[in-house]
Amino acid sequence: MNTFVTADLHLNHANIIRYCKRPWLMKGDLDSDGEWINKGIAEDRCLRMNNELIRRWNERVKPEDLVFHVGDFCFKNAQYKTTSEEWETVLNGKIIFLKGNHDKNNSTKTKIESLQICWADTLINMQHYPDLVDGRCRINFVGHIHEHWKFKKTHVRGKNIYLFNVGVDVNQFYPITMDEATDYCMKMIRERKEE
């Protein structure tokens, strides 16, 4: 069994494609104001995104695996699957949901806003919002900021705190293993100390 972490799938959210310039956006899809040229194009691109996110998820995650999803899982959409439970039937693994800003009405029904896990002898906090990180944990896995940055150093009460964006937009639209995530963080922390 492997343990994965990811965030910000935004299944059924066509506008996330244009907001974040996800790869399913094609030349000519948007008008001069940056809006979809028509609803049909938006729906087609959203369906393509959904299908590819599912494919990439299932390429890595096996049915016996565990996945922490750090917020913003899916949107309600009457035309496609409408609940997180329906999405879970096509996604491998057992998913532990953390609440993101878009998870209020999408049926994930999670009450988890943050959680800590000890992995490879390191206490890691998971929290959707980077500005609400836990200063007791040196490493925080976050989402919410999509493609804006992957790794960031900040200070909380005089301590160095490291934030790793586990969202799909900076991880080739795949979930990553906890080992990959912690190894990446340790590598970046070492590099930052040498600067």
Give the per-residue pLDDT at 17: 97
pLDDT: which is higher, 47 or 86: 47
pLDDT exceeds cutoff 60 at 81: no
How does residue 90 score in pLDDT terms, banded at 50, 70 and 90? very high
pLDDT exceeds cutoff 70 at 194: no
Neighbours of 168 (CB within 10 A): 25
Q: Which helix (H) or strand (E) holds 40?
A: helix 39-60
pLDDT exceeds cutoff 70 at 195: no
Give the per-residue pLDDT at 34: 94
pLDDT exceeds cutoff 60 at 98: yes
Question: Considering the chain, what is the average pLDDT of its residues?
Answer: 91
What global pTM score does this model have?
A: 0.92
DSSP conformation class of 182: H
140's CB contacts (< 8 A; 6+ apart) are 124, 125, 126, 127, 130, 133, 134, 161, 162, 163, 164
pLDDT 10s digits, 105-149: 666 777 889 999 999 899 999 999 999 888 889 999 999 999 999
Q: Catalogue all structural domains in the chain, each as residue range(s) with its CATH number.
A: 3-194 (3.60.21.10)
In this structure, are residues 7 and 163 in contact, taking their beta carbons and an 8 Å threshold? no
